[in-house]
Chain A
Amino acid sequence: MDTILQLLLKGISQGCVYGLIALGFVLIYKATEMINFAQGELMMIGALIAVTFTEYLQWNYFVAVVLTILATGFIGLLLERSLLRRMIGEPPFAVLMVTIGLGFVLRALAGMIWGHDPQELRTPYSDAVISMGDVFVGVSNLVVIGGTIALCIALFLFFRYTRIGIAMQASSQNQLAAYYLGIPVKRIVAFTWALSAGIAAIAGILFAPLTAITPNIGFSGIKAFAAAIVGGFGSLPGAIIGGLAIGIVEQFMQYNFGKGLGDTSAYFMLLLMLLVRPSGLIASTQKKKV
């Protein structure tokens, strides 16, 4: 029983990270119908920027967090302005190749700047552990869960009640109609990139204390992509739910069958989902009018 609870908590916190990266995938997909395969790399960049601010520059942790989110968001904005905006109207395959290539470039750049040695992000709560009976939980894990819940609530309020949030929904539902109403769709798209890069940075900051940070942690972006599909690509709650599902299954598979099956379980779930229910757990696809 204790083991199950332990695994469940670890799985949920890991799943939250996948879910947050998946959120970035879905946000950009809904706004532009592009799939940004560099989403995991943006998370990695976020984590490394946070390390730079706290470890190298010795800034206050909370100041560093805010600045990291802003800086990564700005990088997302720059990427959209410089690269992806030119790809509007190009075939989806070309856009896909650009974002995959972008992932490679970001990984190489990170290697050049920060090196390939594992780094550590120390937080005020790094070594704190809470014990409930025989269950021991790192505070870092709980912060991941709490942070994800807080972010989801913030995003919900943003999309429901703010002018920009509603305009983002409008542009994704009918881009041309949004244009006709004077909504600056291009600026909205740029903002979407900034937002999803910012969310990736938050994922990086939350994830970093749980692991050693190298330029390769961006590969968990692929698992997050699987999470987005399991949840139903195009649904924001689906992204989180898919992330949780993959995170939890991964922990249990790893415990019972070893690391190999644990790591591949995300892709098994992806295949299974595509076979059984291709629209995902929360189907949000609507038929397109021609």
Chain B
Amino acid sequence: MEENQLTVRNIETYYGPIVAIRGVSLEIPRESIVTVLGANGAGKTTVLKTISGAMAPQKGSVHFQGEEITGREPDKVARMGIGHVPEGREIFPFLTTEENLMMGAFSRRGLSVGSDLELIYAYFPPLWENRKLTAGYLSGGQQQMLAIGRALMLAPKLMLLDEPSLGLAPKLVGEIAEIIKTINDEQGVTVLLVEQNAKMALELADYGYIMENGRVVMEDTCERLSQATDVQEFYLGMKDKGVRGQRRWKQRKTWR
């Protein structure tokens, strides 16, 4: 169990009376990149919120480095070393870029903060250029960089990335993917990546889960997932022509 950075066991989370995830289990090994794929409303974001403590699960447990963190306050979870980059960036729009970054280091003291700040400016040169600018005026891609950089300022051991490619131009998606790879390689940060952009996520990650209607319906190494016909058809947009040169209108997924 200790070799896992994060272990999620059979969590069930509700929005009021509505069940959002019904029994999800994930295992995220140390220094790996794991992705969770799925359509809108599959419950991906809820999984992340449950891990970081913004929502409490009704059942199940979350263990971080062998320690149970189920239902802990999100600020305490963050201070343990989980950096959550929420969907839609959620930067502080009226603070400057640098102030945003420094907020990531709120709970930290000491000299390493300064060198981490330099490191983040090295990863994201546009942030250095705009460090005195009010963050609300940054472009979408820069705001995404800021959100990732801000979470990196926590010096996290695990990063939860919620759709970092959302609303970005393809070129920027590539850049963000590069950065995620670098963070994982150089800093040894474990990454849990939630994505709708399956192509990017499957190229980047080592292992993948596919969610539908609040359940994990498929899991495998990303290599094998990219080969699976269902994944190709429903997530990578590859169509095979079918027998009579037409797609069958009632294609069924193997897991149904």
Contact = CB atoms under 8 A, between A and B. Distances in A.
Q: Which size bracket describes the interface of B in this complex?
A: 20 to 34
Contacts of B153: 181
Contacts of B54: 176, 179-180
A169 B94 contact: yes
A166 B75 contact: no
A180 B106 contact: no
A178 B73 CA distance: 12
Interface string A152-192: 00000000000100110110011011111111111000000
Contact of A180 (B88, B100, B102, B151): B151
Given A163-B106, A181-B103, A181-B106, A174 B92 contact: yes
B66 to A, nearest CB: 20
Interface of A: 163, 166-167, 169-170, 173-174, 176-186, 286, 289
Contact of A176 (B86, B95, B100, B107): B86
Nearest to A289: B88
Contact of A184 (B75, B88, B102, B150): B75
A170 B92 contact: yes
B91 interface: yes
Contacts of A185: 75
B100 to A, nearest CB: 8
Given A166-B102, A181-B78, A173 B94 contact: yes
Contacts of A183: 75, 103, 106-107
Given A170-B92, A170-B103, 18 more contacts: A166-B95, A167-B103, A173-B92, A174-B90, A177-B86, A177-B91, A178-B103, A179-B53, A179-B73, A180-B54, A180-B74, A180-B86, A181-B150, A181-B154, A182-B76, A183-B75, A183-B106, A289-B88
A260 B42 CA distance: 63
Contacts of A177: 86, 90-92
Interface in B152-170: 153-154
B178 to A, nearest CB: 23
Contacts of B90: 174, 176-177, 180
A146 B11 CA distance: 59
B93 interface: yes
Contact of A182 (B92, B95, B102, B106): B106
6 contacts: A163-B102, A174-B92, A179-B74, A181-B103, A186-B73, A286-B93
A221 B28 CA distance: 55
Given A179-B74, A179-B78, A181-B104, A173 B151 contact: no
Interface string B202-222: 000000000000000000000
A286 B92 CA distance: 13
A54 B92 CA distance: 44
B204 to A, nearest CB: 22
B84 A170 contact: no
A174 B91 contact: yes
Nearest to A183: B106
B79 interface: yes
Contacts of A166: 95, 99, 102-103
